[in-house]
Every structure is written in C-alpha cells, then in structure tokens.
Homo-oligomer: A and B are copies of this chain.
Amino acid sequence: MPFRLGKHTVVLDNPPSIKAYSAIVGKKEGEGPLGRYFDSIFDDSTLGQSSWEKAESMMQNDSVNKTLEKAQLSNSEIQYIFGGDLLNQCISSAYGLRRFDIPFFGLYGACSTMAESLCLASIFIESEAAKNCVCITSSHFCSAERQFRFPLEYGGQRTPTSQWTATAAGSVVVSSGSKAPFIRSFTTGTIEDMGIKDISNMGAAMAPAAAKTILRFFEDTGNKPSDFDMILTGDLGKVGSELLVDLLKRANLDISKQHSDCGLLLFDLDNQNVNAGGSGCGCSAAVLCSYILSGIEKGDLKDILFIATGALMSTVSVQQGESIPAIAHLLHISNHI
C-alpha cells in the first residue's frame, strides 16, 4: 500500500515497475546528442498525414504500439491509458489513442504530463486497481508553434530565452513486477505563479514551481541531493535551469552537481539553433523513455529524480494580460527496491 511521508510525498511500498518504454522522435531530435537511444526517427514531419496535428496523433499511436510490443502485452491486457498533450482539447491523445479500446484518463499538465501520468498510474498499480497501465504524451514543433505562437510560414524571429518544442512522443507500461526501473515515490506539484508574463521565457515561469516541488521532496524524505545520480528537470532549458539551481541555493539546497535538464540533453545547443533548449510534453517524455530509463535498466543510473515542469497558460490568458502559472511533479525512479 502507498503511504504518505511528510506533507506532500507518497511512498510506493511495493514499487511499480516500468516494464517497457519507447520514444519516437522527429529528424532534428534524431540528429541531437541522444539520437541513438530512440526507437524510431522519422524524416517527414507529417508522418504521411494531411496535417501536423494528425501527425502528432500518429506519433502517440506509434509510440503506444511500440511500447506494447516491447512489453509483449496486447491491448486487452492494459487496464488504463493515462495520456495528454499540449494541443487544444488534447486532440493528439483523443485521436491518436481512439483505436486501442483501452479505458482512457485524459490529462492536461502541459509539459508536466509525463510525470503526472506516472504518479497516477503508480497509484493504480500499487493499489491493484490495475495490473498494467500505459502512460503517454507527445508534442510536435509544427502543431505547437502555430497554435501557441505564429504560423510557421511567417518566419517569426525567436528570442534567445525561447525554447524549441520537441517533435517527439514517449510512452511506458507501468506494471506490478520485479524488473527495474521502479517508481519509488512521488511528490505532486502545486500551481505556482510568480507573475512572469514573457511567453518567450517559459523556463523562468517554470523554475519556481520546480524549486518548490524539489524542496518539498527533500523536506519530506530527509534525502540529500548526493543520494541521487541525477536530478533531472523536464524542460527548463538554459535560462530556467540556471534560475532553478540559484533558487534552491538560496534555500540552502545545492543540486548543481546532480542537476540535468531534458531540454538541454535533447539538443546540441551550440549547433542546433534551439536557443535556450528543448521543450514540449514530448521533450521530457522522449528523454526519459530512452536515454534515462535505459541507463537505469543497465545500472549506469541507480537513483534519479525526474521532475517534469509545465506552463499552464493559453494564448487567450496571455492576451488577457495574465501571468503564467506553472507546475512541476517529481518522481523518484530507481534500479533497485
């Protein structure tokens, strides 16, 4: 049974196992430093579909199929899918997952979705409400860009603090079982809003949310940063990562030695023209579901904290002068029980 530790952390007594995982990415992501870790890389950003939105749905469909194949499970052996994405009304998930006939819990956590889905699936597995759950999320540069920013044809110039939405999908099967990686505990984030209004600087809007969740985890568990091989944030990018490390130093927590960020791992910032780094639900999902989980499986990584961060604004809220609320959910993932 799960139990609560401190005020905000849930410990999974019989830790759920990540039975299989896959990541599917676009050409640019495949050319980045993690290229060789992905299950497939597609050259055509439409995946042969008539729109980028349909292409993104196809990525979710393909990633779930690939993960089920690796888990050697059929659709009927999966009790729930937990999924979501960045598009209005989460259409990538609704359309991408409609053919599976698997009970579906739709989520919206912006770029925190991968972590959110893992928290929820863990409780379903641990409580035996399910034997196998799929967690899935995605993002697509072209569908996100035209929804949140400008039509691609406009060729708008990007600011140095802006991040590049990854074209990627990542999914896992979470199960009861004795095979690493294991989900050991999680700390669910609160909505934080520090008044930041610059939508070209999401890292700055999300860093305080990440800092708060991380502080709460260490307070609840009594752990130290050195207990972990890696403290991996979702996609704060360069600006947000520096802010996070600085915010935590001021709170007497030094994570500078362990900190990494999916947005900085996915791309080569010097040569791939992504400004402050990668972002999008698919960024942290694809980095986790390739390089990181395989590292844990091999034992190269023993204990990591995965903290996916999301910015919860819309174009309407921004146009109405609102600031950017953000959230960050943390999971402790490990190669041992």
Contacts and interface: CB of A to CB of B under 8 A. Distances in A.
Nearest to A126: B127
Interface in A286-337: 312-317, 320, 322, 325, 327
Copies of the protein in its oligomer:
2
Contacts of A7: 76
A89 interface: yes
A278 to B, nearest CB: 19
Contacts of A327: 104, 106
B110 A108 contact: no
A213 to B, nearest CB: 9
Interface string A85-101: 01111110011011011
Interface residues of A, number: 64
Nearest to A327: B104
Nearest to A191: B98
B54 A2 contact: no
A50 interface: yes
Contacts of A314: 87-89, 91
Given A2-B127, A312-B90, A104 B190 contact: yes
5 contacts: A87-B314, A89-B313, A105-B119, A106-B109, A108-B108
